[in-house]
Structure 1
Amino acid sequence: MNTLSPARVRLALLALALGGFGIGSTEFVAMGLLPNLAADLLPQVWATSQEDAIAQAGWLISAYALGVVVGAPTIAALAARFPRKQLLLWLLAAFTIATVLSAVLPSFGLVLVARFIAGLPHGAYFGIATLVAASLMGEGKRGRGVALVLSGLTIANVIGVPLITLLGQSAGWRIAYLAVAAIFAITFVAVALAVPFQAGDKEATLKRELAAFSRPQVWLALLTGAIGFGGFFAVYSYVAPVVTNVTGRDETFVPIALVVIGLGMTIGNLAGGRASDHHVMGTIFVCFGLFVLSLTAFALTAHTTVGLLVSLFFVGGAASALSPAVQSRLMDVAGDSQTLAAAANHAALNIGNSLGAYLGGITIAAGLGYLSPSVVGLALCIPGIGLALWSVLLQRRRPLRASGL
C-alpha cells in the first residue's frame, strides 16, 4: 500500500465509505417510513390499531438486524482467506439483489425475509472494509480509518435517509428501496475501480478465526456494544411516531429529525474514532455517560420541537462515538482473529438494533406511549456500563498479551 498516491488512497476510502452510505440507507430508511410500511403491508392491523401495526412493522428493522448477526461472523470466518477486494464486490452484489427484493416482494412476510437476507452481508462488509481502510491509513491511525468507513453510514443519516424518506413518503416506500439498490450498484462500480487489490489472510482458518470467541475480553466487548447500543435503536426505531404523535409536527418534519440525528452520528463517529486512537476504554465510558444524559433529555423534552432536536442530536452523537471505540477494542483483544473481530462488532451492534427495536415496540404496544422506548434505552445502558467496567477489572488482573486475551 505504500506505493499508492495520496489521491488514490482518498478515492479508495471514499469508495469504501460509499458502501457504508448504502448500508446506512438500507438499514435506517425503515425508521422514517415505518408508518408507511405498516399501513401498506399490514392494512388490516392498521385499520384496527395504528400502534399495533407500527410495533409489528418494527419487526422489519429487527429482521435486518438479525441478518447482520447471522451473516457477520459466518461470512467473516469462512472468507478471511479470500482476497478482500473481490469479497467486497460479492457482498455489494448481494446487497443490491436483496434490496431490490425488499422493494418488489408483495407481502409483509416476504419482505421480512428479504430484509433478513439484506442484512447478511452487512457486518462482513464493514469488517473487511475497515481492515482495508486501516491498512491504507497506516500506523497509529486505525481508529480514524475505522471512522472513515463508518462515516458513510453516519452521513447516510444526514443526507441519504432523509432524502429517501421524502422520496418514500411521496412516491411510495418501494421506490425508496429501489433508490437504495441503485446506491449499492454505484458502490460496486466505485469499489471495482478505486480500491486496490489486497490479499486475504492466507494463514486464516475457520478454527483460528473462531478462536476469538474463546477469549472473555472479546465477549465483554461484544456484549458492551450490543446491550449499550440497544438504547439508541430503541429510540431511533420510533422517531417517526414520536415526531407526529408526541411533538405534534406533521409527517414532513420527520426527515428534519432524521437529519439532526445524522449530524449527531457523523460528528460523534469522527470524534469517537479520533478519541479511541488515544484511549479506547476511556472513550467508551465517556460515550455511555453522554448517552444516559441524552436519553434522559429526550424523555423529558421531546414534546417540544427544540427539545426533540437537541436531544436527538446528542443521542445520535453519543451512540455513534461508541461504535469505533468498541471496534478498536475488539481489534485489541481478538489476537489473530482480526477479520472475525472486525465483523463481529457489527453483529453485536445489530443485536442491539434488534433488541432495542423489539423492546421499544413492546412498550408501545403495551400502551406506555411513544416515549417509553427511551426508558428501555436507559435500562440497557446500565448493563452496558457494567460490562465495560468488568472488562477493565479483568484486564488489570490479566493484562492483554500481544496475542490478545
Structure 2
Amino acid sequence: MSGTEVAREKERERERERERERIDAPTAARLAVLASATFVYVTFEVFPVGLIADIARSLDVSAGRVGLLISGYAVVAAIVTVPTVALASRVSRGTALVVSLLVLVAAELLAAAATSFSMMVVSRVAAALTHGVLWSLIAPAAATLVPRSRVGTATAAVFGGSTLAAIAGSPGTTLIGELIGWRATALVLAAATVAVTVGLVWALRPRDAARQETGQPQGTTAPETARGAVHWPRVLTLCAVAVVLITAHFLSYTYFAVLVADITGTSGAVVALLAVFGLAGAVGTYLAGRNNDTAPQRTAVVTIGVFAAGVALLALSPALGSAAVRGAAAAAAVALWGGAFAAAGPVFQTGVMRLAGQDADRASSVYVTGFQIGIAGGSALGAALLGHSSLWLPVTSTALVAAVLLAVLVLRPVPAAEAPTHS
C-alpha cells in the first residue's frame, strides 16, 4: 500500500471515529426531553418568586412568609437528597426519574388547590422530597445516551433546561399568573410536567431495555474509575469547592433586586438585567458544552475567572460615576456573572461523574446536597450582610470566588477528560 493510500485510509478512519462520536438526531431529542425535565422542576422551584404578592394576598399571609417557601424548599432538599437517592437505587434510574416527575405533578396540583399557607408548604415539601433524586440522576441518565467522550456535552444540554427556566420559565409563569391567576398557572405547569413525563418514558425506556438485554450496566464510567472504586476524597473535594462557589453566587443573587436598585438608582432595571443574566447563562451553558469534553480543567479555570470578574465589577459599579455608567457596568457584570454561573454547573457535575464512574448516582446526590447547602447558606449569609450594606454582598462574593479560583488552580479538583475510545 502506497503512502498516499495509507494517508487516505487514516483519514477515512478518523472520519469514522468522528461519526461514532457524533450525537445523532434521536439522541439529541432524548437529551432535549431530559432538559425539559430540569426546566419544569426549576420553574416550579422558583414559581413563587414572580407571584409572591398575589400568593400572599390570596392566602392572607405576608410576602416574607411566602418567601420562606423558597428557602425552606432548599433546606428540605438538602436534608433528604442522599437518603432518597439511596432509596431510588432500588429501582431503575428511568423509573426513579418518572416517579420524581409524578410527585412534581402532585405538588403542582396541590399548589393549585391550596386554600391555606399550610397546603402550600406541603406542596413545596412534596416537590423538594424528589428534587434531589431528579437532579442526581438526570445527568448520569444523559451520559448513558452518548459516547463516553461526549458526557460533558450531554450534561451541558441537560443543564440547559434550568438555564431556560431562568430565561422563560420564571418570567413566563409570572406573565401567565398575571393573566389567569397563580392557581391556574400551577395547573398549566402541571399539564406541562405530565407531557414531559410521557416524553421521559420514551426517552429512557428503550435505552434501559437495550442495556438490560446486553447485560451492560447503567451509567457512564470515567477512565479513572471505570474498573475501580470511586475516588471519594476527590469527589468530596470537588463538591466542597462547588459549595463555596454556590454560596458565593446565592449570597448576591438572592438579593439581586436590591443590588440592582442600589447600583442603578432605580428598580426599573431589575427585569432587564435578569433577562441579561438568563441570556448570558444560555451562552455560558453552550460554551461549557463545547469545551468541557476536551479541556475540563481549563474550562473550569476560565469559568471561575469570569465569575470572579463579574462579581468584582458589580462590587465596583457604585463607584463609577454617573447613573448611565453604573448601569452599563452593572449590565456587563451581570452578563459575565450569569454566563459563568450557568457554565459552572455542567463543569462540576461532569467532573463528579468522571470521578465517580459506576457510582455516579450516589456521588451526584452528594453534589446536589452540597448545592442546596450552598443555596441556603448563601441566602442566610447575604441576609446578615444586607443589614450592613448591600455593597458587602458582591464584595464577599468576590472574595469567595477568588478562593474557589485558587483552589481550582492549586488542587486541580476537576478531572481530565477521557480520550475517545472505540471498539
TM-score, structure 1 as length reference = 0.80
> Could you say which residue in structure 2 is the equivalent of 1:307?
329
Shift of 1:89: 1.1
Contact 2:246 2:374 in 1 (8 A): yes
> Could you say which residue in structure 1 is the equivalent of 2:374?
352
Return the alpha-carbon distance in structure 1 between the equivalents of residues 375 and 42 of structure 2: 13
> Could you say which residue in structure 2 is the equivalent of 1:181?
190
Contact 1:125 1:343 in 2 (8 A): no
Return the alpha-carbon distance in structure 2 between the equivalents of residues 112 and 37 of structure 1: 12
> Could you say which residue in structure 2 is the equivalent of 1:147?
156
Change (3 A) 1:62 1:293: same
Shift of 1:8: 2.6
Look up the equivalent residue of 1:368 and give its one-letter code: S
> Could you say which residue in structure 2 is the equivalent of 1:271?
287
Whether 1:235 aligns to 2:252 is yes
> Could you say which residue in structure 1 is the equivalent of 2:36?
18
For 1:278, what is the secondary structure of its paired residue?
coil
Whether 1:294 aligns to 2:297 is no
Q: Which runs of 5+ in 1 are unaligned?
A: 47-52, 205-210, 397-405
Look up the equivalent residue of 2:275 and give its one-letter code: V
Q: Which moved more, 1:111-120 or 1:100-109?
A: 100-109
Look up the equivalent residue of 1:373 and give its one-letter code: L
Aligned residue among 232, 248, 254 for 1:215: 232
Whether 1:118 aligns to 2:118 is no
Could you list the per-position Cα deviations for residues 107-153 of structure 1 after superposition, in whole angstroms to 9, with x for gaps in the alignment?
55553453243223223223322222222121310000111111111
Look up the equivalent residue of 2:237 and give its one-letter code: L
Contact 1:162 1:255 in 2 (8 A): no
Contact 2:408 2:414 in 1 (8 A): no
For 2:46, what is the secondary structure of its paired residue?
helix
Shift of 1:268: 1.0
For 1:147, what is the secondary structure of its paired residue?
helix
Q: Which moved more, 1:167-176 or 1:33-42?
A: 33-42
Shift of 1:158: 1.6
> Could you say which residue in structure 2 is the equivalent of 1:368?
389
For 1:240, what is the secondary structure of its paired residue?
helix
Q: Which moved more, 1:262-271 or 1:137-146?
A: 262-271
Contact 2:109 2:190 in 1 (8 A): yes
Return the alpha-carbon distance in structure 2 between the equivalents of residues 7 and 394 of structure 1: 30
Aligned residue among 87, 90, 98 for 1:78: 87
Shift of 1:43: 4.9
- Alignment: residue pair count: 376
Look up the equivalent residue of 2:39 and give its one-letter code: F
Change (3 A) 1:338 1:185: same
Contact 1:98 1:117 in 2 (8 A): yes
Shift of 1:215: 1.9
Whether 1:59 aligns to 2:68 is yes
Look up the equivalent residue of 1:11 and give its one-letter code: A
Q: Which moved more, 1:121-130 or 1:216-225?
A: 121-130
Change (3 A) 1:6 1:215: closer
Contact 1:265 1:317 in 2 (8 A): yes
Contact 1:143 1:276 in 2 (8 A): yes
Q: Which moved more, 1:26-35 or 1:224-233?
A: 26-35
Whether 1:333 aligns to 2:333 is no
Contact 1:65 1:119 in 2 (8 A): yes
Return the alpha-carbon distance in structure 1 between the equivalents of residues 52 and 258 of structure 2: 8
> Could you say which residue in structure 2 is the equivalent of 1:282?
298
TM-score, structure 2 as length reference = 0.76
Shift of 1:391: 3.5
Shift of 1:91: 0.7
Q: Which runs of 5+ in 2 are unaligned?
A: 1-19, 219-227, 417-423
Look up the equivalent residue of 2:389 and give its one-letter code: L
Return the alpha-carbon distance in structure 2 between the equivalents of residues 298 and 231 of structure 1: 13
Contact 1:162 1:258 in 2 (8 A): no
Change (3 A) 1:181 1:226: farther
Change (3 A) 1:332 1:69: same
> Could you say which residue in structure 2 is the equivalent of 1:400?
none
Return the alpha-carbon distance in structure 2 between the equivalents of residues 228 and 271 of structure 1: 19
> Could you say which residue in structure 2 is the equivalent of 1:392?
412
CA RMSD of aligned residues (A): 3.5
Could you list the per-position Cα deviations for residues 129-188 of structure 1 after superposition, in whole angstroms to 9, with x for gaps in the alignment?
222222212131000011111111111212222222333455555454444333322211
Q: Which moved more, 1:228-237 or 1:323-332?
A: 228-237
Question: Bigger radius of gyration, 1 or 2?
Answer: 2
Return the alpha-carbon distance in structure 2 between the equivalents of residues 63 and 71 of structure 1: 12
Whether 1:100 aligns to 2:133 is no
Shift of 1:244: 5.0
